[in-house]
Amino acid sequence: MKSLRIVFLSTISLSLILGSTRAKADWVDEYGKKFPTAADACAFNLKKMQQIFKGAKVTLTMTPPSSLTLGLPWPTPTCFFILSNSRTAVVMEVGISPSCPAGFKPDKNALSGCVPIVGSTPQILWNRKEITNTTQQVATGEEIALNASYTVPAGHKVQNQSWSLAPTVSVVGGYSIAGDYSTGRVVPAQFDEQTTVFYFVDSGKSRSVTFSYALDDGQQASAQAIFDVFGPTSPTILTANSHVITVNDQLLEFGDFTISDTSGNPAGKPGIAFNASAAEPPGYQGAFWWVQLLESETTTLRSPSRPLVCQDGEALDTRYPYDTGPTATDSPNMSLASTYIEESKKMSARMFLMWRSARPGAIPVPLGFVRWGWYGDAKYDSVHAAWAVVKSESNAWNNEPRIINIYPEWKAIRKASTCPP
């Protein structure tokens, strides 16, 4: 046989079709015929070569003949057909270049010809510091602003990404209060972006925060960080209800500010007092906040001609916060005018206890609330030109405290009664 010369008469392209990450694959030639293996594909095309080049000897090998010294990186596998007669020999190659599906790339060392493309493992960053696979210690209400860092392979895009917390815990994305305190609302946490900001509402250890993302080919990757959350425990709210309704200087008042101490100094008695206590974890200082919501308020003013009834709905009471520190009191009242013969007020409210960490950027978290109310009725005595409480009608009440993580929310603020309009 004379020395071989290379003649590329034709190239029959074979492509790999993968339905999963399993090694088994189908090989398809340019005519759409499938073969279970590359060897079967080469054997079939050998028969076609023999039919096309009748009279010539056609042999098949799947390794480059030794006489091919071009130094090219031959794809694996490759079908080499050696055509020879009495005068010359021709080598024809059928290169198999796998057409890998989305999520895979060619790899000559892989049995199937393709290997999965895997995106980079994400890193979780907090305050520009990587915290992946670490345990962080934080306070309830402390701002947790996380960012996931990862690399997307060329030619691919992120199909979806999300954050998840386990076990199921109470978190919020913020607590938004208007500058004039007219509205207050909880902002839901967003967990479907590369970054997230949230606040733990309650305490507990070993809370996992996991970030996961998936590429458009189904490939996934994830990372995790652990948080130990510290906050006040065993909170209690004690109430002291005076159950006293008085008339004091033209005011119908819940409480008694007409009394004096043994030295003759005023010694007022508030309508209702709240006292909070909780076990604060070492190293996690904070302060109690009180927020009061007026649920309803009905004022009735009776004149000789007809009664005037004013009704007010839910609103923030006066300011935010209502008070700070371990105690808070309230002594609501209404003014009495001689133009009316009878005046009454009925009110119900909820006093919320909250705790705010001293850490920068922290928001208050709720610890519980007490629902309470009062009703006062006074009549004008024209003979004595004085007002007097109708004892049989006036009363005050309060429920047992509810220790629960519910935020106070409102859409209005009321600093004074709107009646008369």
Structure tokens at 258: 């007409």
pLDDT of residue 7: 36
DSSP 338: T
Q: Of 91, 116, 141, which residue sits at a domain end?
A: 116
Q: Of 168, 198, 230, which residue sits at a domain end?
A: 230
Degrees to nearest 5, angle at CA 175 with 207 and 411: 140
**How much is the pTM?**
0.72
68 and 174 together in one domain = no
Q: State mean pLDDT over 389-416.
A: 93
319 and 278 together in one domain = yes
pLDDT of residue 87: 56
Say how far apart CA 286 and CA 278 lie, in whole Å: 11
Residue 182 resides in a domain: yes
DSSP 358: S
The number of beta carbons lying within 10 Å of the beta carbon of residue 153 is 15
Say how far apart CA 6 and CA 102 lie, in whole Å: 35
Confidence of residue 64 (pLDDT cuts 50, 70, 90): low
Degrees to nearest 5, angle at CA 262 with 261 and 266: 25
- Of 122-136, 253-267, 325-339, give the lowest mean pLDDT range: 253-267
404 and 283 together in one domain = yes
- DSSP E strands in 1-126: the ranges are 5-6, 15-17, 26-28, 34-35, 57-61, 78-84, 89-95, 104-106, 114-116, 123-126
- DSSP E strands in 268-392: the ranges are 269-270, 272-279, 286-302, 307-312, 315-317, 323-324, 327-330, 333-335, 342-357, 365-381, 386-389
Residue 298 resides in a domain: yes
The number of beta carbons lying within 10 Å of the beta carbon of residue 402 is 13
Residue 83 resides in a domain: yes
Give residue 135's identity as a one-letter amino acid code.
T
177 and 326 together in one domain = no
252 and 391 together in one domain = yes
92 and 181 together in one domain = no
Q: Of 116, 151, 180, which residue sits at a domain end?
A: 116
pLDDT of residue 287: 97
277 and 248 together in one domain = yes
Is pLDDT of 331 > 50? Answer: yes
65 and 21 together in one domain = yes
264 and 311 together in one domain = yes
pLDDT of residue 99: 54
The residues that bridge with 310 in the sheet, in sequence order, are: 299
Burial 35-48 (b: 16+ CB within 10 A, else e): beebeebbeebbee
Looking at the chain, how many residues does it have?
A: 421
275 and 352 together in one domain = yes
Domain that holds residue 110: 5-116
Mean pLDDT score of the chain, rounded to an integer? Answer: 83
177 and 32 together in one domain = no
320 and 398 together in one domain = yes
User: In 3D, which of 228, 193, 227 has the Cα closest to residue 211?
Assistant: 193
pLDDT digits (tens, 9 = 90+) for 198-252: 999 999 999 999 999 999 888 889 999 999 999 999 999 999 999 999 998 789 9
For 277, phi then psi, to 5°, come to -150, 150
Q: State mean pLDDT over 274-289.
A: 95
pLDDT of residue 115: 67
Say how far apart CA 358 and CA 368 lie, in whole Å: 20
Instruction: Name the domain count of the chain.
Output: 3
Highest mean pLDDT among 61-65, 90-94, 152-156, 345-349: 345-349
Residue 421 resides in a domain: no
